[in-house]
Amino acid sequence: MELKDFQVVDRDLPEDLLPAYLQAESLAVDTETMGLLPHRDRLCLVQLCDPQDHVTVIRILQGQREAPHLKQLLEAKNTLKIFHFARFDIAMLRCHLDIQVAPLFCTKVASKLARTYSPRHGLKDVVLELEQIELDKTAQSSDWGNALQLSEEQLRYAANDVRYLISVHKKLMGMLQREDRWSLAQQCFEAISTMALLDLLQYKDIFEH
């Protein structure tokens, strides 16, 4: 697969990169972690991609509790943060780095609202259909814990997870508008922060009978 360049940094977004990212009207964001439970499992990587395809992979170190530049960016009101399954990533970012991400767009929720003809809403499926690009997910379940010694393959995988999200977001937004589900989608995106907070507090199914 052809790859464009990306940069790898430690602990936080460098100060000199912050202004350019803050100017972007939208940003793709993803994380890699040790597992699926925020209170148990470490946050290992945060990947960013702006509309000009500038990809930065930030390695989060063991015991690290803050990343001030990243926090400023992910909480910036004028920049839309696009995730695939935001509910998990924003819970991780809140739990480990005290970041409250907003505003946000979730391509998984958007796909479920717009692509009702398909049962498949994984990132690989959505990118394949909308971008005609086959993502290699073989590194998905690998050991992200040794941040400073990740293989080039792992870093490339992590970078590719954010590379197509902005384009996917645009196409899904078009579909949501066409199907008259854009307002519903926005309400769902606003609700995701609350759902992530409930997840962190370990509430289960409080809306069930």
By CB under 5 A, name the binding residues for Mn ion.
30, 161
Please give the Cα distance from 40 to 50 (Å, whole number). 30
Nearer to Mn ion, 28 or 172 (CB): 28
CB of 53 to Mn ion, least distance (A): 17
Least Cβ distance, residue 31 to Mn ion (angstroms): 7
Q: Among residues 137 and 178, whose Cβ is nearest to Mn ion?
A: 137
Closer residue to Mn ion in complex, CB, 28/192:
28
Residue 99 and residue 97: Cα distance in Å, rounded?
5
Burial of 47 (0-12, 13-18, 19+ CB in 10 A): buried
Nearest approach in angstroms of CB 30 to Mn ion is 4
Determine phi and psi for 102, rounding to 5 degrees. -170, 150
Q: Which helix (H) or strand (E) holds 44?
A: strand 43-49
Closer by beta carbon to Mn ion, 50 or else 176: 50
User: CB of residue 187 vs Mn ion: minimum separation in angstroms?
Assistant: 26
